[in-house]
């Protein structure tokens, strides 16, 4: 149905555009930093990515995102590190989300 197509294909594409315009990495950082200590620990990163719909990311992949951002030695990501890593991570996974949802309907495959 049209509603199904909208929810599975168009909505994620709209979400991608919305993130670029409205949800800056700084806002996402603040949202992910559940304990308010100014850092995103791996557990907080995992929860934030799952909330965004990136349910395919496994623990090892999430740890890799944290490590690439600068959290490898200390176990957390700072705002500056997040601002550098987030755009790449979000772009890659939002496109995958749109493709996965479109693929369920036979589109974008």
C-beta neighbour count of 87 within 10 angstroms: 14
Q: Per residue in 78-90, pLDDT tens?
A: 999 998 888 888 8
Q: Per residue in 12-61, pLDDT tens?
A: 666 665 655 445 788 889 999 999 999 999 999 999 999 888 899 999 99
C-beta neighbour count of 23 within 10 angstroms: 14
Strands (DSSP E) found in 4-82: 40-41, 76-77
- Please give the Cα distance from 88 to 63 (Å, whole number): 15
Strands (DSSP E) found in the chain: 40-41, 76-77
- Please give the Cα distance from 72 to 63 (Å, whole number): 8
Count Cα atoms within 13 angstroms, Cβ side, for 81: 18
Q: Taking the complete model, does pTM exceed 0.85, yes or no?
A: no
């Amino acid at each position: 149905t049209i509603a199904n197509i909208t929810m599975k294909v168009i909505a994620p594409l709209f979400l991608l555009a919305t993130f670029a315009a409205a949800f800056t990495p700084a806002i996402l950082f603040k949202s992910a930093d559940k304990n308010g200590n100014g850092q995103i620990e791996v557990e907080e990163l995992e929860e934030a990515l799952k909330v965004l719909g990136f349910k395919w990311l496994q623990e090892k992949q999430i740890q890799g995102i944290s490590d690439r951002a600068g959290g490898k030695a200390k176990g957390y990501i700072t705002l500056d590190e997040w601002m550098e890593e987030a755009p790449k991570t979000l772009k890659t996974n939002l496109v995958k989300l749109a493709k996965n949802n479109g693929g369920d309907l036979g589109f974008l495959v």
